[in-house]
Amino acid sequence: MNISINELKELMANKLTQAGLKREDAGVVADVLAHADARGIFSHGAMRTEYYAERIAKGGITVNPDVQFKQTGPGTAVLDADNGVGHVAAKDAMTRAIEMARENGTAVVGIRRMSHSGAMSYFVQQAAEAGMIGISMCQSDPMVVPFGGAEPYFGTNPIAFAAPGEGDDKIIFDMATSIQAWGKILHARSKGETIPDTWAVDKDGVPTTDPFKVTGLLPIAGPKGYGLMMMVDILSGVLLGLPFGKHVSSMYHDMTAGRELGQLHIVIDPGAFTSTDLFRANISGMMKELNEVKPAPGFDQVLYPGQNTTLQEKESLKNGVEIVDEILDYLRSDVVHHNQYDHKDPFAK
């Protein structure tokens, strides 16, 4: 059903407040989720509300966290989120990183002991809107097999990048380091469809087209994506003294415990390296030139990386967004959650 982005935000904020989150924090989470839906990233939008509501209600997200921010050098800092809601911690840390980069040219801010924070694009967008380059990455629960492996070790460890162009121009690129999100496998299961043999493997590590046999996702670009997801885990986990690789907590294992996850923001002020005006003009120039590249057969136009989601966002802000009926029914109901995520096997049927 179609719904306006503002109404969707309101419904999600109400539900999260009902689950026990402070109204202000619920508003931030709803904003991050609505950002994802508006950009067509439905895997990280409203469909996650019930999971968060269950975790909040069961105590696995601290609703009154004792957040500690410690600047460890001119351009380095660590924010300990006390397992508070991840979206709020990540937004707060990015705001502080932008301030530090304004003073020092660059800032690297780690967030430790946080819960899931959704789509990385939201946080790098904050940097681009402040005229900075933003890079953000985080750990996620182990679901991806290492190159050549038959069992998961790393998570789908996403990485996002944003850069400002002239005026409102900006590039926002955001990807998981696995070929497909787990949500796409679930989608194929629900539709009774097969999946391409490049997405995932079965229990023996053999590529499978049967979504019900999947016990591990595959990294993007073979050993290269495998290396990239390792880099993300080192920078957002090992660097912050957190559990890493297969030791990262499962999204569903124990909804009463904090997830102890990590995320890293890197912010670069272009003015510390070149003329800011030149940088922004060249970013806009690159966006334009990419759009002018001769399209290959089957393509109408070459988009710059992330442009599809930016175009989608403009459309959604104007005309609303299509959200699955069951999700809207839940958001409009009095039910806080249906107790469906606790101790769920992520690969279970």
List active site positions: 116
| Residue 309 touching ligand NAI (CB under 6 A) | yes
Separation of alpha carbons 51 and 61, rounded Å: 11
Which of 12, 176, 214, 242 binds ligand NAI (CB under 6 A)? It is 176
* Cα 89 versus chain centre, distance: 13
Q: Is residue 313 near ligand NAI by the rule CB under 6 A?
A: no
Distance between CA atoms of 336 and 18, rounded to whole angstroms? 7
* Smallest distance from ligand NAI to CB 116, Å: 5
Is residue 249 part of the contact set for ligand NAI (CB under 6 A)?
no
Q: Across the strands, what pairs with 76?
A: 73, 108
The two structure tokens encoding residue 288: 């334009």
Query: How, if at all, do strands 170-175 and 321-322 pair?
Result: unpaired
**Region from 222-230, 272-280, 307-315, 333-341 binding ligand NAI, contact rule CB under 6 A:** 307-315
What is the C-alpha separation between 33 and 333, in angstroms, rounded? 19
Question: Could you tell me if residue 131 is left (phi over 0), alpha (psi between -120 and 50 degrees) or otherwise beta?
Answer: left
Residues 229 and 220: their CA atoms lie apart, in Å, by: 9
Kindly indicate which of the ranges 196-204, 304-312, 317-325, 334-342 contains the residues binding ligand NAI, using the contact rule CB under 6 A: 304-312
Mask for 113-152, x = binds ligand NAI (CB under 6 A)? ---xxxxxx----------------x-x------------
Nearer to ligand NAI, 284 or 307 (CB): 307
Provide the sign of the torsion angle of the four alpha carbons 139, 145, 149, 152, taken in this order: positive
| Min dist. Cβ of residue 243 to ligand NAI (A) | 14
CA atoms within 13 A on the CB side of 31: 15
Give the span between the Cα atoms of 114 and 56, in whole angstroms.
Answer: 13
Which residue in 16, 12, 33 sits closest to 316, CA to CA? Answer: 33
Site pattern 88..117 for ligand NAI (x: CB under 6 A): ----------------------------xx
Using the rule CB under 6 A, is 252 a contact of ligand NAI?
A: no
In angstroms, give the least distance from the CB of 204 to ligand NAI.
Answer: 25
The CA distance from 140 to 217, in Å, is 13
Residue 261 contacts residue 138 (beta carbons within 8 Å): yes
Residue 87 is a binding residue for ligand NAI (CB under 6 A): no
Would you say 175 or 287 has its CB closer to ligand NAI?
175
When asked if residue 303 is in the footprint of ligand NAI (CB under 6 A), the reply is: yes
Q: Does residue number 312 form part of the binding site for ligand NAI (CB under 6 A)?
A: no
C-beta separation of 146 from 56 below 8 A: no
Binding mask 15-54 toward ligand NAI (x if CB under 6 A, else -) reads --------------------------x-xx----------
Q: Can you say whether the dihedral through the CA atoms of 217, 32, 40, 301 is positive or negative?
A: negative
Give the 3-state secondary structure of residue 328: helix
Stretch near ligand NAI under the rule CB under 6 A, chosen from 12-20, 76-84, 210-218, 298-306:
298-306
Specify the DSSP class assigned to residue 256: T
Which residues in the 253-292 window bind ligand NAI by CB under 6 A?
Answer: none
Q: Output 102 or 189, the one with its CB closest to ligand NAI.
A: 189
Q: Which segment (16-24, 25-33, 274-282, 299-307) binds ligand NAI by CB under 6 A?
A: 299-307
Binding site for ligand NAI (CB under 6 A): 41, 43-44, 116-121, 138, 140, 156, 158, 160, 173-176, 181, 303, 305-309
